[in-house]
Amino acid sequence: MSAPETALAARASFGRRTLHAHRGLLWLAAREVLRVLKLWIQTIAAPVLSSFLFIVVFGLSLGGRIKQIGGVDYDVFIVPGLVTMAMVQAAYANNSSSVFQARFDRYIHDILAAPMRSWEVNLGLSLGGVVRALLIGLALLALALPTTGAPIHHPAELVLAVALALVLFASLGVVVGIYAETWDHHTFVQNIVILPLTFLGGVFYSVDVLPSPWRELSHANPIFYLINAVRYGFLGTSDVSVALSLGVTAALAVLVVAWSSWLFATGRRLKP
Amino acid sequence: MDLLGRGLRPEGSQIGTTGRSGAGAGRRAGVVPGAPTPWSSGGATVAAGRSRVVSLGAMALDTGTPPALELRGLTKRYDSGLLALEDLDLTVPAGEFFGLLGPNGAGKTTLISAVCNLIRTTAGEIRVFGEDHRTPAARREIGLAEQDVNLDRFLDVEETLVYHGGYYGMGRVEARRRAQEMMDVFELRGKAKVRAPQLSGGMRRRLLLARALMHEPRLVILDEPTAGVDYELRLELWRYIRRLHSTGTTIVLTTHYLEEAEELCEDIALIRGGRLIARDSAANLRVAYGAASLADVYVKAMAS
């Protein structure tokens, strides 16, 4: 066997060993994705439809009556924020409900007793929300881009912003799913925290048009930075620098991932 | 065909046992009924009130196999302040059918949960076949059927088994093959595509047991597996469990049914207030407590 063939065989062998060592993680992630697909009307179709209706109703019907924002047509301006909103809500809601349901019905015991490391359980439970959000995002892009003609000016920044957003909200969903004692707790965070912050983060407007002190207060909203990072990726415009937007989002993602990792590593809340 | 254990063996063949596992001492080859078993000393029965029971685990020494389960100084105090287990020592030799009896709140489920990594222990050590219970190697050896039916509501019968196998490191082909075997053994094949919430109570119990055995564990823990089931299903479950034990699998059984413990278990421990108060064969417990039946032993032990 030649040297390149030997190296190739060694790499293939390493890949097989790695896959084998983390089979539990792969199966857990597959289970989370299976749940998303089995409930596709609720998990995929409904959020895609409602977000697309926002784009059609707010963008196409009102867009003609609202002047451009930052040199961009209104129907195009709202696309990044609405796509972001749909994706982060899906990532959060999926994981918080899946983890809470697993705790409520106690089938999470089957996972906690299995020979998986704590980070594998954490990652496996998180991936369902990530996949669901990506499916929704892709479906919305497929519908919204031809409808509105929204461009993608900076794909690398867009991918990075979406990745950070999904890590942040998928992990937040897992954390809330672990802490929640009732369904109300899960919906409280979604409806009373995430949804208002998303709307106030500039989905439908540029915070530059707000009077003081609302403009300054908007800068305290973490989702404002996320929406602007995604908007920069699509439109090339942003209310703040893209580096700051990505930095704030990354810092929050690190914080929430550290929180969920601590919960799984210590067993706090998961194990009495 | 016996598909329950490691390898395929004809039903009725045993590894290290003389026949069906059952009550009292002396079920293993060469052991006289009523005499001390090779893995517990003649004085292993511990008087009520003592906090520790020292089981010698001599069988493990005989064979060189580490005990299936070893607890040393196990203590669990919940955040509420409740002391559920207190400085508990216990050894279950490999291959034994071990019963754990006690009233509600005695600590049975806490003990099982500690072994299976479902609660955080306050102090002490747990070893499964010589390995720390938190390691993947130890966890792979344990199969758990909990008292409550905790099946994944989004999965059908076949998926429940296949995904469980996957969590324990099985590949897709292997997991599917094993799931077919388990569905045959537990007569669930006709319900392969039915989700757990649509199953009858008896089928859910059987599925719980099948799931616990899916990854071929060497230590199977059954937490009140026959609670709330009708007599016919109880006998059926007993048959499954006996066949499982006959393949050499170590079984830890908790139950409120004393006749069940007497019928199935080689060694029985009584637990009260988080402490083991006695441990021996049913026959030796009867002698030690001067009781005519295990029920009398239980009443005397719990009252003392």
- CATH of the domain spanning B1-12+23-141+217-304: 3.40.50.300
Q: What are phi and psi of B127, to 5 degrees?
A: -125, 135
pLDDT value at position B8?
Answer: 31
Name which of A21-35, A213-227, B104-118 the model is least confident about. Answer: A213-227
pTM comes to 0.85
| Both structure tokens of A249 | 């989002």
Query: What is the span of the domain harbouring residue A243?
Result: 23-266
**Which position has the token pair 């108060």?**
B277
Q: CA-nearest residue of chain B to A30?
A: B163
Closest CA to B3 of B233, B210, B166, B250: B210
Neighbour tally for B6: CB within 10 Å = 12
Q: Does the pLDDT of residue B42 top 90, yes or no?
A: no
Average pLDDT over residues B165-182: 96
Q: How many domains does chain A have?
A: 1
Residue B5, Ramachandran bin (φ over 0: left; ψ between -120 and 50: alpha; else beta):
beta
Distance CA A194, CA A187 (A): 10
Distance CA A27, CA A23 (A): 6
Closest CA to A173 of A47, A26, A32, A28: A32
- Give per-residue pLDDT as tens, A79-105: 999 999 999 999 999 999 999 999 999
ipTM of the complex: 0.89
CA triplet B22, B94, A114: central angle to 5 degrees? 110
Q: Does the pLDDT of residue B23 top 80, yes or no?
A: no
Task: For residue A272, tell me if it sits in a domain.
Answer: no
Distance CA B8, CA B18 (A): 19
Report chain A residues whose CB lies below 8 A from the CB of B170: 23
Spacing of C-alpha B62 from chain mean position: 22
pLDDT value at position B117?
Answer: 95
Cβ–Cβ below 8 Å for A105 and B163: no
In DSSP terms, B74 is beta-bridged to B88
- Give per-residue pLDDT as tens, B233-290: 888 889 989 999 999 999 999 998 888 899 899 999 999 999 999 999 999 999 999 9
Report chain A residues whose CB lies below 8 A from the CB of B136: 115-117
Task: For residue A91, tell me if it sits in a domain.
Answer: yes
Cβ–Cβ below 8 Å for B167 and A106: no
Instruction: Locate the domains of chain B by residue range.
Output: 1-12+23-141+217-304, 151-215
**Burial per residue of A189-209, b for 16 or more beta-carbon CB atoms within 10 angstroms, e otherwise:** bbeeebeeebebbbbbbbbee
pLDDT value at position B178?
Answer: 97
pLDDT value at position B24?
Answer: 34
Q: Which of A102, A109, A266 sits opposite B118 (nearest CB)?
A: A109
Q: Does the pLDDT of residue B99 top 90, yes or no?
A: yes
- Give per-residue pLDDT as tens, A101-126: 999 999 999 999 999 999 999 999 99
Cβ–Cβ below 8 Å for B150 and A271: no
Task: For residue A3, tell me if it sits in a domain.
Answer: no
Cβ–Cβ below 8 Å for A35 and B154: yes
Q: Looking at CA atoms only, how far is residue B30 from chain A in angstroms?
A: 37
- Give per-residue pLDDT as tens, A36-81: 999 999 999 999 999 999 988 887 777 667 777 878 888 899 999 9
Average pLDDT over residues B25-37: 32
For residues B223 and B109, is the Cβ–Cβ distance under 8 A? Answer: yes
Residue A1: C-alpha distances to residues A6, A7, A9, B42 (Å): 6, 10, 10, 65
In DSSP terms, B98 is beta-bridged to B252, B267
Inform me whether the C-beta atom of residue A18 falls under 8 Å from chain B C-beta atoms: no
Q: Looking at CA atoms only, how far is residue A261 from chain B in angstroms?
A: 16
Chain B contacts in chain A segment 99-158 (CB below 8 A): 101-102, 105-107, 109-117
pLDDT value at position B27?
Answer: 34
Closest CA to A54 of A91, A86, A90: A86
pLDDT value at position B63?
Answer: 55
Q: CA-nearest residue of chain A to B119?
A: A271
pLDDT value at position B256?
Answer: 87
Task: For residue A7, tell me if it sits in a domain.
Answer: no
Distance CA B264, CA A198 (A): 61
| Both structure tokens of A35 | 């749940």
Neighbour tally for A217: CB within 10 Å = 13
Q: CA-nearest residue of chain B to A36?
A: B154
Chain B contacts in chain A segment 23-82 (CB below 8 A): 23-24, 26-28, 30-31, 34-35, 38-39
Task: For residue A64, tell me if it sits in a domain.
Answer: yes
In DSSP terms, B254 is beta-bridged to B100, B223
| Both structure tokens of B217 | 């564990």
